[in-house]
């Protein structure tokens, strides 16, 4: 087992250990855990990265010695979506379909996704709309065809 330390820009350190044969995966996993544990977040609309330095740790002549491994630029997870941002984003998503479907999309996506966060609700709404759009288009075409036939028939 090798011991590693990830050092954040503010000097905060996160320690982990894994075998040499897992180095690539181990470092990525270590950095992911370190960033999540740190609680660092980035802006949703202007995401920033942080530079993390990684070192190995060894004891040599009774002293702890660090050896540089690599630097990684990592983008922390985004800040949580506010209620206002959620409403604004949901409005944009719903504008793609007729108003008659809005309450269905809102309630279905909220019911299925709210426990995973507002971002998940938006994603579910987008998926529902993507699935429904072809059917809505066919329905609208059929309605238009019927009204056109009725108008022509009445003349």
Question: Residue 86: what pLDDT?
Answer: 95
Instruction: Check whether 146 has a pLDDT greater than 60.
Output: yes
Question: Residue 20: what pLDDT?
Answer: 65
Summarize pLDDT for 43-60 with one digit per residue, the tens: 988 999 999 999 999 999
Summarize pLDDT for 96-141 with one digit per residue, the tens: 999 999 999 999 999 999 999 999 999 999 999 999 999 988 988 8
Residues 110 and 64 in one domain: no
Question: Residue 142: what pLDDT?
Answer: 86
The structural domain count of the chain equals: 2
Residues in the chain: 155
Q: 106 or 27, which is more confident?
A: 106
pLDDT, the chain, mean: 89
Residues 105 and 141 in one domain: yes
Domain stops at, among 21, 40, 74:
74
Instruction: Check whether 16 has a pLDDT greater than 60.
Output: yes
Residues 23, 19: Cα–Cα separation, whole Å: 7
Residues 55 and 103 in one domain: no
Residues 62 and 97 in one domain: no
First to last CA, the chain: 87
Question: Residue 144: what pLDDT?
Answer: 82
Contact 75, 49 (CB under 8 A): yes
Please name the residues in contact with 77: beta carbons below 8 A apart, sequence gap of 6 or more: 35, 36, 41, 42
Question: Residue 113: what pLDDT?
Answer: 93
Domain stops at, among 74, 102, 137:
74
Range of the domain at 141: 83-154
Cα 94–chain centre separation? 20
14 phi, psi to nearest 5 deg: -130, 125
Contact 43, 76 (CB under 8 A): no
Summarize pLDDT for 72-84 with one digit per residue, the tens: 999 999 998 899 9
Residues 98 and 48 in one domain: no
């Amino acid at each position: 087992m090798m011991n590693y330390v990830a050092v954040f820009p503010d000097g905060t350190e996160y320690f982990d250990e894994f075998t040499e044969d897992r180095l690539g995966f181990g470092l990525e996993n270590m950095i992911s855990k370190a960033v999540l544990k740190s609680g660092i977040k980035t802006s949703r609309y202007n995401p920033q990265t942080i530079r993390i330095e990684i070192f190995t740790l060894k004891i040599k002549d009774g002293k702890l010695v660090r050896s540089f491994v690599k630097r990684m630029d990592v983008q922390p997870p985004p800040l949580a979506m506010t209620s206002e941002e959620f409403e604004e984003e949901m409005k944009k998503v719903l504008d793609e379909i007729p108003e008659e479907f809005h309450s269905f999309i809102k309630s279905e996506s909220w019911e299925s996704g709210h426990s995973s966060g507002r971002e998940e609700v938006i994603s579910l709404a987008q998926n529902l709309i993507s699935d429904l759009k072809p059917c809505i288009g066919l329905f609208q075409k059929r309605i238009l065809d019927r009204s056109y036939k009725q108008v022509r028939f009445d003349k």
